[in-house]
Amino acid sequence: MPEPFLLKELERIGPKQKGIVSQSVKDVVQSLVDDGMCHCEKVGTSNFFWAFPSEAAVKRKNKMMQLEKELAQMQAKQKELGDLIANAQLGREHTEERGNLVEEMTETEALWSGQQEELKQFKECDPVLMHRKKEEAGVAKDAANRWTDNVFIIQSWVRDKFNMDMDEFNKFFGIPAEFDSV
């Protein structure tokens, strides 16, 4: 029958029987509890620690059964995949006709990739792309004019509010003299 121990008892027994440094007994016991190799139960204000000798054997036996079950499943899957590969290879024996078809497919793929490269060279002249660029340019122009109008509104507000000359405002904020809507 396993005997429960208090942490103080373990700190006393650990260095004598197992050669553990007394300052590290608490860490060692906590790691055993975290790993499930030892149990801890709080009774009142005390923590009791214990482990059943047969518990480790039962855990190993359960783990062994689980691994054997997984091994059987993997072996069945390997056999199934082997059968699938064998079935897939049935119609693919190397014949002259198959070799000719594979060669023709390779040539066709090379031709297709060459045409894709050639198409990339002419992509700049694509009418859809040109139309999209034209629309984006229009949007950019509208945005630039909107910000130019905003600058003019701020200029007039500053001129009215602070009685400032336009040339002085432009010089102070670094606005060129030719600044105007696009």
Global pTM value: 0.38
| Tokens coding 177 | 């003299």
Q: Is the pLDDT of residue 1 over 60?
A: no
More confident residue, 73 or 87: 73
pLDDT per position as a tens digit, 42-69: 888 888 888 887 888 888 899 999 999 9
* Partners of 43 in the β-ladder: 46
Q: Which of 5-14, 62-71, 117-126, 148-157 tops mean pLDDT?
A: 62-71
Residue 166 to residue 146: CA distance in whole angstroms: 20
What's 91-125 look like in SS3?
CCCCCHHHHHHHHHHHHHHHHHHHHHHHHHHCHHH
Q: Is the pLDDT of residue 72 over 90?
A: yes
Average the pLDDT over each of 56-60, 71-75, 80-84 and give the range with the smallest value.
56-60
How far apart CA 60 and CA 64 sit, in angstroms, is 6
Confidence band (pLDDT; 50, 70, 90) for 2?
low
The two three-digit tokens of residue 50, written as one number: 């214990």
